[in-house]
Amino acid sequence: MRLALFDLDNTLLTGDSDYEWGQFLVDRGVLERDAYEAQNRAYYEQYLRGTLDIHEYLGFALRPLAEHSPHELERWHAQFMRDRILPMITPAARALVRGHLGAGDLCAIITATNSFVTAPIAREFQVAHLIATEPESRNGRFTGRVAGVPCFREGKLARLDHWLADRGRRLADFAESVFYSDSHNDLSLLGRVTRPVAVDPDEALAAEAARRGWAVISLRR
């Protein structure tokens, strides 16, 4: 059995689901536009540059989850899926995932974006396994804090190793493992799999892929 891992934002999606969730809440009037948009944009630019403090960002990104009821959040997310996420899924992305599922590969989406935002997206791709940053919840409500290690940069490796260990496996057990990502933030995990694939890569990842002879593909054309 092969292991197939998929980054989500700007890889299987043509945009960033975490960023778009914040913008969706702004457009609904849930969050104050000027202040939130400016901070959201600043954090996204830090992510692109590789300078993001993930704990600082999560304190910002998870706060809206703590301020509203689960029922309200779920209702908003259903519209978010229709309006923002489905238009960001290309036929090529669906075909890539469908090919690995059809081949019987063990498939997982692995993403820094929290599981509240991303679990319905994983279901849309019919991927049963999601490795994501986990928002803390108590008594049925989100607290605004993160539970455990954020699934970001080296944290992705830690979360993947833990997920595999729960199944009695190690990454080295797979004769072939593939990871699809667009971002230089994922270089540590890309360097661990047997077949790293750069998908519509950012400039830093494109340069590293060229240097190491990694495959480069597009899911947008």
Q: What residues act catalytically?
A: 7, 9
What token pair was written down for 48? 């692109």
CA 115 distance to own-chain centroid? 9
Give the Cα separation of 170 and 32 in Å (integer). 45
What token pair was written down for 128? 């049963």
For β-strands 177-181 and 215-217, DSSP reports them as: unpaired
Q: How many CA atoms lie within 13 A of 57 on its CB side?
A: 23
Please answer whether residues 18 and 113 qualify as being in contact, where contact means their C-beta atoms are separated by less than 8 angstroms: yes
What token pair was written down for 147? 């539970």
| Residue 13: strand, helix, or coil | strand
Q: How many CA atoms lie within 13 A of 134 on its CB side?
A: 11
Amino acid (1-letter code) at residue 85 = I
CA 146 distance to own-chain centroid? 15
Give the Cα separation of 33 and 175 in Å (integer). 49
